[in-house]
């Protein structure tokens, strides 16, 4: 038997097998080998571990050594399967089979492997007990690692200095592109990215060929940002396309918002994450008027971005080549728009008008060469204007807040959420609290512009890989925050609102759709508290019966499900919201009091 088995089986086990089979060598060998193969699979459950400890007390040391050597290849497998189970996917058979296949007894293991195994043997045997225990053991395994990295253990990083270092002295700016449907937003920005070298010639050539085949030759540049088949087929942007480019002094996160009125909720999500905006208008005759008159998206988009806190605006008067770069047409558009934007709350000094041609690429990256344009226009090109925007003050010193814009399953363990960090900063390994679900998790990884980083701060659009929590509990609109200083959650709150152009007066019990950051939640106006003076904010009328257009008022809102909100005075970014009714925006507001 020793010749056949060499040193792989302890002597005690062989002696026992020989006695059990009454000295029949063949049967004894079969018995020992069958026990060995069973052992591989059985070490995966608690009973086998207990059996190995209780039976044959004398052989305990030698068997544990054997178990260790067998378990070494399992370590990685088992922790992964444990995490899978904690996510709610219980597939013990598949896991057993998988481990059974890969874990044939391995000879010639290194001594280091054995010592590693002995350290984790206990954790591994625990992690196979049940999904609940898996979660506990996972968290135990996880906690020590972040302890080295967590911001509490190591000195607080100087985020502002680190930000400067990371961007090479360049400032971060989040830019949203808005405007009426078919004003040429995607084409304008796609061409800008191509001219900046962010899209290589081969890809651009492919888009040109494919768009020609589809009968949409003029859409080639728009395809840079409109990535889904449906968007390309219909020729309209539906979701917010996001990309990154750099100017001489800024790092820009570009968000291309949809212009179609059916996709305004998506546009609000994009605008809520922006610092500055480009409003694209179509200069061709009839088109500008269609977008600007009642029912057009130029007005609504302008009001929306201002209400969501965007104060700087560049107006790209696009398709100027179609009107032969006429100065009169440009001035006609700027005077009409200027009046409206002033009413919307933009300062004249914060609005710039630039004549452009998205398809021709004129006046985008370099100043216009066309003689029709240069004879009367001496101002900035679009890129220079983007570069001259002033970045807003970031709330880096406030507690961490991130609004979830998207949730998806990662290839490995855990899941990913994307969104903009509104305040504070985060480091890999930190614990986070998700509200409203009120669940904690750990940030296992941070990705910024598709590159893994150790930390991220306010203003960054990041993707977080999270563990220790079920993906089912998280949806778009949840807010991740610092567990020590959580965000408030409520269903009733008071707010100061400005009523836009509405056809029906607002009365008590009026149903609305509340748009807040990435949340879209049905709500009801439960109380009309008072009408306020527009400029001073003094109460001019208490308990009004209804609210008419243009009025400033204090109201109480009730949402169907809890929402995570902040007071406007504490967090400006998280205290703003919009109210919509039957497809149009009826009011913008700020949170003044959280009731419950």
**Mean pLDDT for the chain?**
79
Mean pLDDT of 128-157: 40
Across 288-301, average pLDDT = 85
> pLDDT tens, 164-212?
677 667 888 999 999 998 899 989 999 999 999 998 899 999 989 988 9
Q: Predicted confidence band at 14 (pLDDT cuts at 50, 70, 90)?
A: confident
> Given a cut of 80, is residue 79 above it in pLDDT?
no
Query: Which homologous superfamily is 168-388 in?
Result: P-loop containing nucleotide triphosphate hydrolases (3.40.50.300)
Asked whether residue 93 carries a pLDDT value surpassing 90, the answer given is no
119 — pLDDT class (breaks 50, 70, 90)? very low
Q: How confident is the model at residue 370 (pLDDT cuts 50, 70, 90)?
A: confident
User: 71-75, 145-149, 159-163, 531-535: which has the minimum mean pLDDT?
Assistant: 145-149
pTM for this entry: 0.69
**Residues carrying CATH 2.40.30.10, the chain:** 401-481, 489-595
Mean pLDDT of 38-44: 45
pLDDT > 70 in the chain, percent: 78
pLDDT tens digits along 543-564: 999 999 999 999 999 999 999 9
Q: What percent of the chain has pLDDT over 90?
A: 44
User: What's residue 228's pLDDT?
Assistant: 80
Q: Is the pLDDT of residue 136 over 60?
A: no
Looking at residue 87, what is its pLDDT?
Answer: 41
Best CA proximity match to 81, nearest among 41, 49, 40, 44 = 44
Task: Please state, as a whole number, how many other Cβ atoms lie within 10 Å of the Cβ of residue 411.
Answer: 5
pLDDT of residue 48: 40
H helices present in 345-408, as ranges: 371-374, 382-388
Using one digit for the tens of pLDDT, what is the confidence trace for 399-434? Answer: 999 999 899 987 777 899 999 999 999 999 999 999
Summarised one tens digit per residue, pLDDT across range 212-269 is: 988 888 888 888 888 788 887 888 888 888 899 999 999 899 998 888 888 888 888 8
Confirm if 563 and 517 have CB atoms less than 8 A apart. Answer: no
Assess if CATH 2.40.30.10 describes domain 401-481.
yes
Average pLDDT over residues 460-481: 92
* Other CB atoms within 10 Å distance of the CB of residue 311: 16
Q: What are φ and ψ of residue 365, in 5° steps?
A: -100, -35
Containing 576, the helix (H) or strand (E) segment is: strand 576-581
Read off the pLDDT band of 126 (50, 70, 90).
very low
Res. 13: pLDDT tops 50: yes
pLDDT at residue 72 above 70? no
What is the structure's pLDDT at 109?
41
> What value does the CA radius of gyration of the chain take, rounded to a whole number of Å?
32
Q: Which fold has domain 489-595?
A: Elongation Factor Tu (Ef-tu); domain 3 (2.40.30)
Give the model's confidence band at 512: pLDDT under 50 very low, under 70 low, under 90 confident, else very high.
Answer: very high
Least confident of 137-141, 380-384, 387-391: 137-141
Please give the Cα distance from 6 to 14 (Å, whole number): 11
Report the range of poorest mean pLDDT among 147-151, 158-162, 492-496: 147-151
What residues form DSSP beta bridges with 510? Answer: 525
What pLDDT is attached to residue 190? 92
pLDDT above 50 (res 350): yes
What band does 135 get if pLDDT is binned at 50, 70 and 90?
very low
Please state, in angstroms and as integers, the Cα–Cα distance from residue 116 to each residue in 9, 121, 124, 270, following that order: 21, 9, 12, 49
**pLDDT for 473 beyond 50:** yes
Question: What's the per-residue H, E or C state across 467-536?
Answer: ECCCHHHCCCCCEEECCCCCCEEEEEEEEEEEECCCCCCEECCEEEEEEECCEEEEEEEEEEEEEECCCC
Phi-psi region of 244 (alpha: psi -120 to 50; beta: other; left: phi over 0): beta
User: N- to C-terminal Cα distance for the chain?
Assistant: 76
Q: Transcribe 544-574 into DSSP letters.
A: -SEE-TT-EEEEEEEEEEEEEE--TTT-STT
Band (300; pLDDT cuts 50, 70, 90): confident
Q: What is the pLDDT of residue 100?
A: 39
> pLDDT tier at 531 (50, 70, 90 boundaries)?
very high
Task: Supply angle C-alpha 221, 223, 227, rounded to 5.
Answer: 155
- CATH 3.40.50.300 in the chain, residues? 168-388
Distances from the Cα of 71 to the Cαs of 4, 22, 235, 318, 492, in angstroms? 23, 32, 57, 66, 55
Report the C-alpha gap between 263 and 240 in whole angstroms: 10
């Amino acid at each position: 038997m020793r010749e056949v088995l060499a040193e792989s089986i302890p002597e005690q086990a062989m002696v026992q097998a020989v006695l059990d089979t009454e000295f029949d060598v063949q049967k004894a060998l079969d018995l020992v080998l069958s026990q060995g193969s069973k052992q591989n699979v059985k070490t995966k459950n608690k009973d086998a571990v207990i059996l190995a400890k209780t039976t044959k007390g004398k052989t305990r040391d030698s068997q544990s050594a054997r178990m260790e050597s067998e378990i070494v290849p399992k370590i990685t497998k088992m922790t992964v399967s444990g995490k899978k189970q904690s996510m709610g996917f219980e597939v013990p058979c598949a896991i057993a089979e998988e481990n059974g296949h890969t874990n044939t007894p391995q000879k010639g293991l290194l001594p280091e492997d054995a010592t590693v195994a002995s350290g984790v043997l206990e954790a591994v045997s625990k992690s196979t007990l049940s999904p609940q225990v898996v979660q506990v053991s996972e968290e135990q395994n996880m906690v020590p690692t972040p302890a080295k990295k967590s911001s509490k253990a190591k000195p607080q990083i100087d985020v502002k200095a680190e930000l400067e270092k990371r961007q090479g002295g360049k400032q971060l700016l989040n830019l949203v592109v808005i405007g009426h449907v078919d004003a040429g937003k995607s084409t304008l920005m796609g061409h800008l990215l191509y001219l900046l070298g962010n899209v290589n010639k081969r890809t651009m050539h492919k888009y040109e060929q494919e768009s020609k085949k589809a009968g949409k030759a003029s859409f080639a540049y728009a395809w840079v940002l409109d990535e889904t088949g449906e968007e390309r087929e219909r020729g309209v942007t539906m979701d917010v396309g996001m990309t990154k480019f750099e100017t001489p002094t800024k790092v820009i996160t570009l968000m291309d918002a949809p212009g179609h009125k059916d996709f305004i909720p998506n546009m609000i999500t994009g605008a809520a994450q922006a610092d500055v905006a480009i409003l694209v208008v179509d200069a061709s005759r009839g088109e500008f008027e269609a977008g600007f008159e009642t029912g057009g998206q130029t007005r609504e988009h302008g009001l929306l971005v201002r209400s969501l806190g965007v104060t700087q605006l560049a107006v790209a008067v696009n398709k100027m080549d179609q009107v032969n770069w006429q100065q009169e047409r440009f001035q006609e558009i700027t005077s009409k728009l200027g009046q409206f934007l002033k009413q919307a709350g933009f300062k004249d000094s914060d609005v710039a008008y630039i004549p452009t041609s998205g398809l021709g690429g004129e006046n985008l990256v370099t100043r216009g060469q066309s003689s029709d344009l240069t004879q009367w226009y001496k101002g900035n090109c679009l890129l220079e204007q983007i570069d001259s925007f002033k970045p807003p003050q970031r709330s880096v010193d406030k507690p961490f807040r991130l609004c979830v814009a998207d949730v998806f399953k990662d290839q490995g363990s855990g899941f990913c959420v994307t969104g903009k960090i509104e305040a504070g900063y985060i480091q890999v390994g930190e614990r986070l609290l998700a509200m409203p679900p009120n669940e904690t998790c750990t940030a296992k990884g941070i990705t910024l512009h598709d590159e893994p980083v150790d930390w991220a701060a306010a203003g960054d659009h990041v993707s977080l890989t999270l563990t220790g929590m079920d993906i089912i509990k998280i949806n778009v609109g949840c807010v991740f925050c610092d567990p020590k200083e959580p965000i408030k959650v409520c269903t009733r709150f008071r707010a100061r609102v400005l009523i836009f152009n509405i056809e029906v007066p607002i009365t008590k019990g009026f149903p609305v759709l509340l748009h807040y950051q990435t949340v879209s939640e049905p709500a009801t106006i439960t109380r009309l508290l008072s009408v306020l003076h527009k400029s001073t904010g003094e109460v001019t009328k208490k308990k009004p019966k209804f609210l008419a257009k243009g009025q400033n008022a204090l109201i109480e809102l009730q949402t169907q499900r809890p929402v995570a909100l902040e007071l406007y005075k504490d967090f400006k970014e998280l205290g703003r919201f919009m109210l919509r009714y039957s497809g149009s925006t009826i009011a913008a507001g700020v949170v003044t009091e959280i009731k419950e």
